[in-house]
Amino acid sequence: MHSLDFKITAPDRGIENSLKNRVDRKTKPLGALGLLERTAIQIGLIQQRLDPEFGRPHLLVFAGDHGAARAGVSAYPQNVTWQMVENFLAGGAAINVFARQNGLHLAIIDAGVAHDFGKRAGLIDAKIAAGTANYIEEPAMTAEQCAQAIARGAEISRNLAINGCNVVGFGEMGIGNTAAASLITHCLTGLPLADCIGRGTGLDDAGLARKQALLEKALNRYRAVGGSNEPLAVLAEFGGFEIAMMVGAMLGAAEAKMTLLIDGFIVGSAALTATRLAPALAEYSVFCHRSAEAGHAAQLAALGAEPLLDLGLRLGEGTGAALAFPLVQASVNFLNEMASFESAGVSDKA
């Protein structure tokens, strides 16, 4: 696999002490706003400003189909992917509700759905192919398809940055994609595969056992041909086009010094992959929630991440990122608008 041409550097920490001092001088006890304080400092560092602000916030939902879905790794039929994309375009899904409520511009990306949508308002056609191959029998995608998906994702983020967007949330839709995320998480964290597999869209015990057996079969096939744990190889082997395109979009967004709002388990598998390719990407990422899906805790631990919310969510679509955005906005607002001890004439502690 070839190397990627992204220049992602960690934010300059030159203003970190000034940001910390600005937070500490607010009219509150030291550390009293908890994780919001760390988030405010992180965003100040990303933007290299003591008064950061968000411009044109976007949420991107990447959709793709998985060949392995037809083998039975999900409780739902593959047709649900394109039907849910139609639901997004009609404004009727959970992500539409939360994005509207919280002022996030929503864009849906067809990364590789097995359906022809035609030209539609709100849909970006970046389709690589009509779904991936079945990784239980062969690699999900070729190295070329994987590279193409990454490049198209990066282009989407760069276009947003050119148009003044500096904060972007990530979501996804793809029947079977928790299975892909489980395999990616296992390969990149070394956690036992069984600990990375959950019920996804609601498998019963028999369905969960079948999913585990199918994923073990896929993994054994990959290992038998000398498959490595190198992130691009793993992504091409087991990923979906929506996951690969998210990897590219994250790399492009971090390169443009945007704030990345990371959703749950499937978006987390893309973030884990992107961070293995460019470790500094983690410093641009705000981890929005802890998913109820098995394996997400392993991703968060591997990334050293402390998420903002823990609501037992397992819907995907970027819903956790959309729900957390008001908290991220609050961290910036208190930094910019809250009085200091000096400006308010409030006595500091002795």
Name every residue whose Cβ is closer than 8 Å to that of residue 205 and which is 6 or more positions away in sequence: none
> Amino acid letter at 14?
G
Give the separation between CA 47 and CA 142, rounded to whole angstroms: 37
Residues in the chain: 350
Place of tokens 């933007």: 47
Give the separation between CA 276 and CA 278, rounded to whole angstroms: 6
Give the separation between CA 120 and CA 117, rounded to whole angstroms: 7
Identify which of 141, 104, 302, 186 has the alpha carbon closest to the alpha carbon of residue 95.
Answer: 104
> Amino acid letter at 310?
D
230 carries an active-site annotation: no
Q: Which of 172, 255, 293, 317 is catalytic?
A: 317
Burial class (CB in 10 A: 0-12, 13-18, 19+), 235: buried
Residue 245 near residue 126, CB atoms below 8 Å:
yes
Reduced 3-state DSSP string for 311-337: CCCCCCCCHHHHHHHHHHHHHHHHHHH
Which residues have a catalytic role annotated?
Answer: 317
